[in-house]
Structure 1
Amino acid sequence: MKTIQVTEQELATLKAVLFTEIQRVKKEKANGANVDDLLQQYEQAFEALNFAK
């Protein structure tokens, strides 16, 4: 795993995009799509961004 440095604005953008994707995937799941693995990966990535400095 690599470490990168991002600005506060870049971090906010990453989190916003990832949150939007999580919502989209949840809608797909509600419509019957098999997206459990993808949803789990997105949610883990979003959680990891909460620890970013």
Structure 2
Amino acid sequence: MAELDAVSSGIGFASLGIQILDSFNKLKDFWDLVQDTSIEIAHLMQVMDF
């Protein structure tokens, strides 16, 4: 029975690691999008002569 607990804990830990990595990837994608947005806004303001 202890072996089953160890395997379950290992699977749970691996699942948590995957979820954390996925969250970091989403956060990085969001950060890249936000940074690109400021460049696009500056370009639009230049085009509109602001």
TM-score w.r.t. length of structure 1: 0.48
Larger Rg: 2
Alpha-carbon displacement from aligned partner over 1:5-36 (angstroms, at most 9, x marks no partner): x7000000000000001000000000117xxx
Match status 1:26 vs 2:31 = yes
Q: Secondary structure at the match of 2:37?
A: coil
| Off by >2 Å, runs of 4+ in structure 1 | none
Runs of 5+ in structure 1 lacking a partner? 1-5, 34-53
Match status 1:14 vs 2:24 = no
Q: Which has the higher helix share?
A: 2
Q: Between the two structures, name the one with larger relative contact order (CA 8 Å, sep ≥ 6).
A: 1
Q: Percent identity?
A: 7
Runs of 5+ in structure 2 lacking a partner? 1-10, 39-50
